[in-house]
Amino acid sequence: MLKSAKSKLVYKPGSDDKERLKLAFSNAIGGLQTCIRIIKGIADGVGLGPPGLQAGLSALLFVLKSIQVSR
């Protein structure tokens, strides 16, 4: 009895929900990329931060771009 009641409560996303989730994910990744680009630009212009900061941010941007393209 408990198993059947639990199975009724399981949410199964529809195709509309999946599209909305993909759009939200894409917007979140885009916003994160913008923030990282701004931080990288500031760090490049001012010359602040530990050594390797620009390289690390560039690598992070590359990974985010790869994730966004694969979706």
pLDDT of residue 2: 54
The DSSP symbol for 31 reads H
> Using CA atoms, how far apart are residues 49 and 41, in angstroms rounded to an integer?
12
> Using CA atoms, how far apart are residues 6 and 44, in angstroms rounded to an integer?
54
The H or E element that residue 11 is part of is none
7's tokens? 């199975």
pLDDT in tens, 10-69: 667 677 888 888 889 889 999 999 999 998 888 888 777 788 888 899 999 999 988 877
Q: How confident is the model at residue 71 (pLDDT cuts 50, 70, 90)?
A: low
